Every structure is written in C-alpha cells, then in structure tokens.
Structure 1
Amino acid sequence: MAERDGRDRPPGPPGAPVLGNTHQYANDPLKFFVETAREYGPVARYELGGETFYQLNDPAHIERVLVHDNEAYAKGERFQAALGPVLGEGLLTSEGEFWREQRRAIQPAFHPEQLARYAEVMTAYAERTVDDWRAGEPRDVHADMMGLTVEIAAKTLFDVDIRDEEAAVGESLEAVMDRVERTVRRPVEIPSWLPTPGNRRYDRALSTLDGIAERIVDARRGSARVGRRGDGERVDDARDDAAREDVVSRLLDDERNVPRERIRDEVVTLLLAGHETTALTLTYALHLLSRHPEAAATLRGELDEVLGGRPPTVADLDALPYAEKVVKETMRIHPPVYELLREPIEDVAIGGYRIPAGSTVSFQQWVVHRDPRFYDDPEAFRPERWTEAFERSLPRFAYFPFGGGPRRCVGDRFASLEARLVLATILREWELDASADALAFSPSITLRPAGPVEMTPRRR
C-alpha cells in the first residue's frame, strides 16, 4: 500500500441512520454523483444501504485504479451480483488468469482485419432496418437500434442471422437489464426463488438466452464437422479459414477443449455487451442531432460530399471526420457506460485516504465527462470541440467511454466502427424529428433511456 498522509476518512454527503445516502441516490443517481463530486472533491465517501462507497472524481486517481494498480482490484461483489447470474464466467465477469486466457482467445475476433470484414454486414443490416421505416410514422428509435445491433452482433461474431428470433432475444435482454437495474439501484432485492411476475419473466429470459446460445454453438459445431472438397464431395473438418473466424468457432477449435458452459457464457456476454452500448450510442446520437440542426446539417453535408448517395464503406471512414466527432461527443455527454465499479482486494491508499479491502470504489464517466475543468460549456453538444489539439490537452482519463487499462472494452473498435457506419447509413437517407426536447434516463449497468425514444423519420 502506498504511503498514507494520515487522513483515513474522505469527506462526503451526510446521510440518515442505517440507510446512509440511499434516499438521495435513489431519487436521482446521476445528480447525486455530480453533486458529490462538485461538493467533496477528488475522493468522496458515502453509504448506500449499509455499504460504503468511495467515489473518485480525478482522472489521475481513475488512471491509477484502472492502469497502474489494476491488479489490486477486482470487479467486486456488487457487479457480480448484478451480472453473474446472467453471464456466468464470461469475459465481462471473470477475473485473474482465467480472464486473461479468455481475453487472448476472443481478441482475434476484434483485430482490424476482422473489423473490415464486419463492415459490410453492419451497413447491410442498417439498410434492412430502415427499409421498415415509413416517412411520417413515429418510431421507437431505441427499440430499432437495439434490434439492429443485436442482429449485427449475432451475424458478425457468431455468423448467425437471428432476425426471426430478434424479438424474443430483445425481450429477454430487456428483462435481464430490468433485473440488473433493480439489483444495482435497490439495496434489498426480492429473493430470486419467489415466484413473482418479475422473477418468472427473468427466468424465462435466461431460458431463452440459453436456448439461443445452444443453437449458436450447435450450428457452429455442425459447420466445423461438415464441409466439401474441391470436387464437391462432403467431408469432415473441411471448413475454410473464413468459416473459422467467428468467436464460437474459435472457441470450438481451441486446443484446450473449452467447455460448452463457458462457450455459452461468452455467447450471452457478447450478445449483451456487444449490442447494448452501441445501440445506446446510436439512439442518443440520433436524438442529439435532431435537437441540434446545425450539427446535423454539417454531418449531412459531409455524408453527401463523400458518399454521393451510396452506402458507406470502411474505406470512407477516414473521410468522415465529423461523423467520428459526433460519436465521440455523444459518448461524452450521454456515456452508455456511465459508471465503473472496482473492489480493492487489499487495503489501498488513494489521494491520501485509506480505502479498505472489500469496499466499493466507483468512478463515473457521467461526472468526469461533464467536468468544467476539462470541457468548456460541458452540458452543450458540440462535436466540433474534438480537434486533435483538444484531445491532446485532456488528461488521459478525462474521457474514458470504454474504460481503460487491461480491462478496457475488447470491442471498443468494433463499437466505434459500427456506430459510424450505421449513423452514416441512416442519415444519408433520413432525417429524424424527436418528440421530446430532453431525455430522461434510467441508470443501471448502462445509461438507458427511461422509456421509448420516439422519433419521426422523414426522407431527405
């Protein structure tokens, strides 16, 4: 542990007996985080339902936890309680050497050459989605983006088209995230064994996701065993290299004989993590652009000049810098992952304060991304702020939408590519008018909208 300066207890908001700060937090978590940071400085302490939290509000402290001292922290019991029952020992929840082995096995699916192969699917599926739109008919754009991104994840990562099952998958993922939200937001949860409507819905969701994962594994195992020779005769183990590129096939080909249960965990993890954050980014980008017509006009002008009416390709992205700025600014002002949690496995010291082992350390993208020390007019949506000079001026963890350190999101480049391509595909043909000026949020593991995001599409 680093040397201490004798200050054992960080400052923090006063709370009630037993419940601590639970009431303030439950009323509006995002407001609570911001007010705590602004009032109590780089390290703050508060209580939620008898559990002590240490909120870090300085990029240097966040970098220390995620990068320099990362081996002194685990994701912790609170995170595991929320997602462990759903994801098992998938990449998002596993720890230690087991996690490192998983990361090495999955990483090749996100290499640049693989991402280039995914681009065509991303564009084609986006076009397929907007083909269902009718000018003047309102849409729940969040639902559309959730459906689109889960279809893209299934096709690119598992080589499976799940459009016929997308509604069931989407409903199941929604039920899972509802449970996660309750686990994160409420100190006391209804026991999972009680046959309440919510528990039954959750159990059905897990059963559906397990069934989808089983079918994906069976489909990829079948393609592993059966192929054709050049003369057309069927033979075993004759898949070409291209057919081996999806995640499940890689795990099936793993010489360590990865257990089926672990493959299931990775499938569900990547379906969940591989679609929700990008769907939120796209939803929020479309809504923000509808409320900021000058930014939308700038982006449309760039798309018209570069694309000339045709669908975008991965080769176009370098010529679409404003599209990238829109995505960056969206993830700054409405970060899909708005908070990260860590649990020290030993006593540590941060900012001169002792943080006991087993407590929860939290830091919020929502707070740091809106800090006026780093962002001029931080509440404003201004994509043009993202110049090279501006990015160089930022402290390293003043912007961290994908986390950082060894556990930085494995799919960060995948998500960035998908967001830009889908946004370009939609906006080259459509404009959208939002029904509401501002969005309300329902924070759980991700920053979800508190209800449908209704927008009306118009042909350009």
Structure 2
Amino acid sequence: MPTAPYLPVAGPRGLPLLGNLPAFGRDPLAFLERLRDDFGDVVTWSLGPMRIISLSHPEHIAQLLEADERCYKTSDTGWGFRQLLGDGVARSNGADWRRKRALVQPAVRPRQVRAYATTMVDSAVALTDRWQDGSRIDVLREMSLLTQRIVVRTLFGNDVGDQARALGDAMAVAGREIGAELRGIGLFLPPWARTPARRRLLHAVAALDTEIDRLIRARQAAQGVAGEGSDLLSRLLTARDEEGRPLTPRGVRDEAVTLWFAGHETTSSALTWSWYLLSASPCARERLTAELDRVLVGRPPTIDDYEQLTWTQQIVKEALRLYPPGWMVPPRVARDGAVLGGRPVPAGTMVWCSPWVTHRDPRWFPDPTAFRPERWDTDPLHALPQHAWFPFGGGTRSCLGARFALVEATLAIAALAQRFHIDVDPGEVTPSAGLQLQPATPLRATLRALPADRPGVLRV
C-alpha cells in the first residue's frame, strides 16, 4: 500500500517564457535540492515551455521507473543527445526498445563481465607501472585514460592505438557541449540552428563516427577470416533478434557509442570521486589497505576476489551515493493513463527524478553529506526504501552496464590502491552537473607509493 502522499505543489515562480531555466541553469543541483527542501516531494515547475514534475520520494520514484511502458515514454533529451547516441537503446521506446535491448543485453551479462575482469585489472596495473612516487596528477584525466583503455579493449578487442585518444577527445567535447545545452537556452533551439557550441558538437560526433565506422569495418573483415570475436563489438555485429534480423550498420554504431559512454565516462567519474573522498578519509583508506592486504596478499585482484572485497565495494557504493555520475535519470513523459500515487498525471507532463537529490535526503541517509562507506556494512538495502539509492536508474530501463561499472570500479580501486595512495589536494571541490557529474575544476593529487616491504603491496 502506498504510504507517501502524492500531493503536487507549485514550485518557485519563473520568468515569462523562460520559466525556471535561469535558476536551473546556474546550478541544477542546488535548484533541485531547493525544490525538495522548500516545497516537498512532488513539485511542479517550468523549464522554458516545458511543464515538469520533480519527484524526490523513493516510493514515487519506484512507481515512475517501474511503470508500464504504455504509461510513460523516455523523453527526447535534447538535440545534442540525439546527435551523440542516435537511435540506440537508451533513446528508444516501445517495441523498438524491447528489440534493441534484447540484442544488446547478452553482451553485458554477468558471464561476459566476468570475462572482461582480467582486462580491467591488467589496465589498472599498467597505469601504476607508469606512475612514480611523488608525481602530480590530474585525477579525472588519469581515471579517464584508465577507463578509456578498458572500454576500447573490451568493446573493440584491442587498444586501437592513437585512435583511442581521438575517440576519447571527441567524446569529451561531445559530453561538455551536451551538458551545457541541457542547462541553457540551447535545449529549445530548433534543429536547424547552428550555434558555435552545436558546430563543435557536430565536429566531435563526426570524428567519433569516422573512427567507429573504421573499427566496425575492420571487425567485420576480421570476422570473415577468424569467426566471431569475444569483444562487445563482435557480439553486436553477430546479434540477431527473434526474427533473425541483425542490427543495421547505423544501429551497431549507436549501440557501440552508448556502451562506450556508459563504460568510460560513468566509471571514470565514479573513480575520480572515490579518490577524492578516500583522500579526505584516512580511516576509510586504512580499512581499504587492510582489506587488500588480507584478501589479495600481494597479488592482483581477480573476478573471484570481487565478492570478498566488501569494503572496496562499499566505497564505490558510497561514492555513487554522494556523487552519482548520472545526476538525473532520463526524464519520462506521461502518456494517457499515467498514474502516480493513485492520481492521474496529465498526458505530456515531463516527470523528473534525481539520484543527487534523493541520495542526499536525511530521511534515508543520516548526515547525508558525510562519506560513510560503513552505511553499507549490514546490507541496508533491506532497510532502505526501494530507490533511495538508484545511481543506475531502475525498473526495466535500468542501465545495462551497471554490473560492468561496479566490477570495473571495484577492481580498479583494488589494483591501484595496492601500490599507491592518491593524496588529493585539500579543499572543497564543486561538482559540475553536465552530461556527467564531474569536478568543476581539475582535481590535483600527489601519488604516494606504498612501502615495497609491506606484505600486501602488489608484486609486479
């Protein structure tokens, strides 16, 4: 039985034509928190011409994310997002979405993620081989290089050489421009408008398409000689639906870019925030070192160690709670018959929910801004309301790559922390809510090598 009352309340008064866009654009995170704190769990507001309902209570969020697809469709989140992801599974609806999800899902099932674990660890160890004691690093850049190497090896089957950097640079530009569009007037410009920001985005997407097309053709040629490969791209190329139909070449491109984005950008952000939080929490870091000493005893982690690395997993969970890379779940648009809390939702209404807002609600997480991995010591998911923690969305449209991301982040932290402490420069860091939640300014850190005579230090 529902326990949370569904009582929509009008939010802050907006400006003519623009609505609440200026306040939202200045600081989306603060604006959404203000809706919860000053107005309640169900708040109506406007983003330009769009009428929006924001939900912050887990019960309402669960109803939204688990609703029948006939009641809600995924919103078309801006022109820039369409250019990057095309018509991939993340942007599809109805029968088209079901077909594409069925084609893509086998590539990221637990058995396949298990097969990729060695690549994840090898890439992390290779990164520490390049690091030196006392060196200064940009944490996000280093984590991006790591997850980029992992995703190109698991997605494309090899390091793809210089093309990996070209892909990464193009994706970074696209993410930056799409994030800016989502917070500004560009969200409402017609498709034909070509602002400088849109031209930069189109240039980045064109570079991305050139490399992806080359890799697809190379993989198709290799399959003709050696048969099916084990990488994600090979699996996309050989996938068939129930009627025996493959993905189109454009469809393969769209799903490859979606998997690249999910496996690279999301995890690099999660790792960056994990090091930031650990650096400011000596006790948590010492407990991490002790767990690695006990479980790994100086050898690299493997997938078989994953379940034993409980504290490492809790660090990842807590970082995802405090700084969810996907700070907003793709909005849903109500269809005829949509209901929340037993009350109808007008067709065409856009419904939002934000992990950032709900994850930092003191009703579910006491002292919500504190980094406390021990929150997860006794599997509090049994005590927490469903969807009080939802960094990967929820329901049938939850992120396909969630298992991949959790395993990748856990094993990467284990492999890196066996050899180095990452001492982030002291000071408060402001998150920037773009396409992903990342530090607004570079996160600088000093590398501190662990003593070589420690029993748990990774032997290479």
TM superposition score normalised by structure 2: 0.90
Counterpart selection for 2:238 from 249, 252, 271: 252
Residue 44 of structure 1 aligns to a residue whose secondary structure is strand
Show the counterpart of 1:157. 155
Which residue identity does 2:305 align to in structure 1?
D
Which residue identity does 1:128 align to in structure 2?
A
Show the counterpart of 2:386. 396
How far is the alpha carbon of 1:80 from its aligned partner?
Answer: 4.6
Number of residues of Structure 1 aligned to a counterpart in Structure 2? 442
Show the counterpart of 2:20. 21
How far is the alpha carbon of 1:310 from its aligned partner?
Answer: 1.6
Matches within 5 A, 1:28-427: 28-77=27-76, 79-188=77-186, 197-227=196-226, 239=227, 243-244=229-230, 246-252=232-238, 254=240, 255-340=244-329, 341-346=331-336, 348-351=338-341, 354-427=344-417
Structure 2: which 5+ residue stretches go unaligned?
Answer: 451-460
Residue 310 of structure 1 aligns to a residue whose secondary structure is coil
CA distance in 2, matches of 1:94, 1:75: 8
User: What do residues 334-366 of structure 1 show as CA deviations (whole Å, max 9, x unaligned)?
Assistant: 111111111112263434665322221101101
CA distance in 1, matches of 2:137, 2:336: 50
CA distance in 2, matches of 1:6, 1:414: 35
User: What's the % identity of the aligned pairs?
Assistant: 36
Which residue identity does 2:136 align to in structure 1?
P
CA distance in 1, matches of 2:113, 2:292: 21
How far is the alpha carbon of 1:26 from its aligned partner?
Answer: 2.0
Show the counterpart of 1:232. none
1:224·1:249 contact (CA, 8 Å) conserved in 2? Answer: no
2:6·2:341 contact (CA, 8 Å) conserved in 1? Answer: no
2:274·2:315 contact (CA, 8 Å) conserved in 1? Answer: yes
Q: Is 1:10 equivalent to 2:9 in the alignment?
A: yes
The 3 A distance-change label for structure 1 pair 46 and 6 is closer
2:157·2:230 contact (CA, 8 Å) conserved in 1? Answer: no
Show the counterpart of 1:230. none
Which residue identity does 1:332 align to in structure 2?
R
1:221·1:252 contact (CA, 8 Å) conserved in 2? Answer: no
CA distance in 2, matches of 1:18, 1:193: 21
Larger deviation, residues 10-19 vs 120-129 = 10-19
How far is the alpha carbon of 1:285 from its aligned partner?
Answer: 0.3
2:80·2:181 contact (CA, 8 Å) conserved in 1? Answer: yes
Show the counterpart of 2:457. none
CA distance in 2, matches of 1:105, 1:75: 19
Residue 90 of structure 2 aligns to a residue whose secondary structure is coil
How far is the alpha carbon of 1:18 from its aligned partner?
Answer: 3.0
CA distance in 2, matches of 1:355, 1:445: 27
CA distance in 2, matches of 1:265, 1:309: 41
Structure 1: which 5+ residue stretches go unaligned?
Answer: 228-238
CA distance in 2, matches of 1:244, 1:434: 38
Which residue identity does 2:237 align to in structure 1?
L
CA distance in 2, matches of 1:70, 1:264: 25
The 3 A distance-change label for structure 1 pair 352 and 21 is farther
1:325·1:386 contact (CA, 8 Å) conserved in 2? Answer: yes
The 3 A distance-change label for structure 1 pair 15 and 249 is closer
CA distance in 1, matches of 2:311, 2:219: 39
Counterpart selection for 1:451 from 411, 420, 441: 441
User: What do residues 163-197 of structure 1 show as CA deviations (whole Å, max 9, x unaligned)?
Assistant: 42232212111110122112210134677766665
How far is the alpha carbon of 1:258 from its aligned partner?
Answer: 2.4
CA distance in 1, matches of 2:78, 2:158: 29
CA distance in 2, matches of 1:138, 1:443: 26
The 3 A distance-change label for structure 1 pair 86 and 304 is same
2:72·2:338 contact (CA, 8 Å) conserved in 1? Answer: no
CA distance in 1, matches of 2:237, 2:193: 36
Which residue identity does 2:363 align to in structure 1?
R
1:221·1:249 contact (CA, 8 Å) conserved in 2? Answer: no
1:48·1:187 contact (CA, 8 Å) conserved in 2? Answer: no
CA distance in 2, matches of 1:183, 1:149: 25
User: What do residues 179-228 of structure 1 show as CA deviations (whole Å, max 9, x unaligned)?
Assistant: 2112210134677766665344322211211112112211221121113x
TM superposition score normalised by structure 1: 0.90
